[in-house]
Structure 1
Amino acid sequence: MLIESFLGYIRYEKKYSSHTVLSYKNDLFQFRDFVTKEIGEFAPEKIDRDIVRNWVVVLVENGEAPRTVSRKISALRSFFRYLVIRKEITDTPIRNIQLPKIRKRLPSFVKQGEMDLLLDEVDFGSGFRAVRDKLIITMFYSTGIRRAELIGLRDVDVDLMASTIKVTGKRNKQRIIPFGKELRTMIEEYRAIRAKEIGGGYPYFFIKEDGEALYPQLVYRVVTHYLETVCSLTKKSPHVLRHTFASAMLNNGAELNSVKALLGHSSLASTEVYTHITFEELKKSYKQAHPRAERKGENYGN
């Protein structure tokens, strides 16, 4: 009952996304089952640091990735903090828990030349679906929005007069993203063919042939299919295009705070990871271009 109450709290009061709520639910139910097996019942007041540590050990021994373990501990931390606020317990057992180290990986992104090739040379075909799919790719690359944000776009959120889209992000936070002439022209073309082939009166901006809103797997398949035509990245997803937008903005002179606002990040630290991408590209360019960058083992000067 306490877990269900907590899930309702983070969903309706804290405005966590449905994806986060589901992840926390699975994590907490898994922990509940572990505790019940250990002490015979799930009684939060009887849970101490040793029980939590033992659970972490079991997770690691079962091969859970460090990032997954950290997320599960984050779910527990939020849950026990909630119980303290409700005075169900006097203190939280989530203290001094040793977490496995997470190695930060640089986000994958598509090179600018490959994106130019995709949008300028690849034949998307004709008709409603072709126009829509190309606009999906361009919208991701031009605005950096998340997949859920793209799916949730409503027709009234896309303002051609102001050349902006209003995006509803995580925890229902809204932001305004500007766009340029190319995207404006494609939006006009999409709206025209949508009205002609599908009709009007649908609330969502991106729709299927039956007028219904898109769903996540459909968008994923569209992005994966077209990225496969121009790049060899192992991971080809809508989020890769979000990374591509961010790296392209920084590589072409955008300020970090501006990119943070466009991406809808709450913390600058989330955006700073993209500066590592641009630096790695800078190092690569230097080594390829400078005539003495790769010379080895010679003594010069004195």
Structure 2
Amino acid sequence: MTSFAQHLTSEKRYSPQTCKNYQRDLQRLAAWLVGQSYAEWRAVSGHDLRRYVANLGRQGLSGRSIARHLSAIRRFYQYLLREGLVTDNPALDIRAPKSGRRLPAVADVDQLNYLLDVTPDDPLEVRDRCMFEFMYSSGLRLAELASLDVDAVDRKGGEARVVGKGGKTRLLPVGRKALEALAQWLPIRAGLAPETEPALFVSRRGNRISHRSIQARLSRWGIAKGADQKLHPHMLRHSFASHMLESSGDLRAVQELLGHADIATTQVYTHLDFQHLARVYDQSHPRARRRNSRGYDDQNSGQEGNV
């Protein structure tokens, strides 16, 4: 599996996190096959993999997680086929069980404005606010934020050059608030990072900040500043997408901004937008309001009815 991991990194240019996930999934399959007394990959059949998928389901894995496992297995067998180590790909016709699609959590616009307008308490919080402004301003993934370099941001043009999944580069607008936060962070960064460090966001030790540190700092920010819900990086990306779609209604533009290859991935935010509209309808339409036990609309409860 080591040569397969090198293949994903050097030829396919998969991200380190994707390679790590694939390797972990394949190690899990290998451990199960050893328990079933299989000694080599060429001996595995489609029937065996269906048993493995059923086993994953019994362990409580969601359809989405099982689909990721199968993706790793299919890719692995494609590689083995290319190398002449197997004669077929037993995972080709196997599909994961369907599971309900979870809608991403989204923060309220007013709450995000409040959390991002709070004055930082120390230099590292200046960095934190700048990171979170960039995430919400441009809809960045966690990995995209962490990999940003100083020279990738055009402050005059209000743009950032971002490297997304599959090494694809896209140019994104950066909002005024994010640029203001950047102007406050850069002098502090200069006192932490050596001249040879290209990373825009660095730790107190002056090296590129890790994914885990960004997650921990955002969670800490939410707790310290009084957020109503637990904050995490993907929530800011989801909030960006939902708020943009709610305001513009332009699904294609949001797809481009997020860097989605397939518009079906972006369409989940139309469901979020519909949920918002449904709540407004339920609260506002006179024929949709809930009625209390006395037969009056909740909005008018406690008032005397007029004939």
Same fold at TM > 0.5:
yes
- The answer (yes or no) to whether the contact 2:146–2:209 under 8 Å persists in 1 is yes
1:100-130 CA-partner distances (Å, limit 9, x unpaired): 222101000101011111123x3322x4212
Which residue identity is paired with 1:256? L
- The answer (yes or no) to whether the contact 2:193–2:202 under 8 Å persists in 1 is no
Q: CA deviation at 1:18?
A: 1.0
Residue range with higher mean Cα deviation, 176-185 or 136-145: 176-185
- The answer (yes or no) to whether the contact 1:106–1:273 under 8 Å persists in 2 is yes
Measure, in 2, the Cα distance between the counterparts of 1:84 and 1:40: 19
Q: CA deviation at 1:256?
A: 1.2
Measure, in 1, the Cα distance between the counterparts of 2:217 and 2:124: 10
Measure, in 2, the Cα distance between the counterparts of 1:254 and 1:194: 38
Are 2:251 and 1:264 aligned?
Answer: no
SS in 2 for 1:252: helix
Measure, in 1, the Cα distance between the counterparts of 2:73 and 2:33: 12
Q: Could you list the runs of 5+ residues in structure 1 that have no partner in the other structure?
A: none
SS in 1 for 2:84: coil
- The answer (yes or no) to whether the contact 1:110–1:231 under 8 Å persists in 2 is no
| Gap change, CA 1:40 and 1:46, over 3 Å in 2 | closer
- The answer (yes or no) to whether the contact 2:260–2:266 under 8 Å persists in 1 is yes
- The answer (yes or no) to whether the contact 1:117–1:230 under 8 Å persists in 2 is no
Q: CA deviation at 1:40?
A: 3.9
1:217 to 212, 215, 226: 212
Q: CA deviation at 1:98?
A: 5.0
The aligned counterpart of 1:291 is 286
Are 2:67 and 1:70 aligned?
Answer: yes
- The answer (yes or no) to whether the contact 1:155–1:203 under 8 Å persists in 2 is yes
The aligned counterpart of 1:34 is 32
Please show how residues 170-181 of structure 1 align to structure 2 within 5 Å: 170-181=165-176
The aligned counterpart of 2:301 is none
TM-score, scaled relative to structure 2? 0.87
| Gap change, CA 1:283 and 1:205, over 3 Å in 2 | same
The aligned counterpart of 2:42 is 45
Measure, in 1, the Cα distance between the counterparts of 2:84 and 2:148: 41
Q: CA deviation at 1:175?
A: 0.9
Please show how residues 124-139 of structure 1 align to structure 2 within 5 Å: 124-125=120-121, 127-139=122-134
1:55-74 CA-partner distances (Å, limit 9, x unpaired): 12222223333322221111
Measure, in 1, the Cα distance between the counterparts of 2:254 and 2:226: 26
Q: CA deviation at 1:200?
A: 5.9
The aligned counterpart of 1:60 is 57
2:113 to 116, 135, 147: 116
The aligned counterpart of 2:164 is 169
Measure, in 2, the Cα distance between the counterparts of 1:166 and 1:209: 25
Measure, in 2, the Cα distance between the counterparts of 1:199 and 1:62: 46
Measure, in 1, the Cα distance between the counterparts of 2:73 and 2:194: 47
Percent identical residues: 32
Which residue identity is paired with 1:231? A
SS in 2 for 1:175: strand
TM-score, scaled relative to structure 1? 0.88
CA RMSD of aligned residues (A): 2.1
- The answer (yes or no) to whether the contact 2:193–2:207 under 8 Å persists in 1 is no
Measure, in 2, the Cα distance between the counterparts of 1:212 and 1:167: 19
Are 2:91 and 1:97 aligned?
Answer: no
Please show how residues 2-21 of structure 1 align to structure 2 within 5 Å: 3-21=1-19
Measure, in 1, the Cα distance between the counterparts of 2:57 and 2:157: 51
| Gap change, CA 1:165 and 1:49, over 3 Å in 2 | same
Q: How many residues align?
A: 290
2:147 to 143, 152, 170: 152
Higher relative contact order (CA 8 A, sep 6+): 1
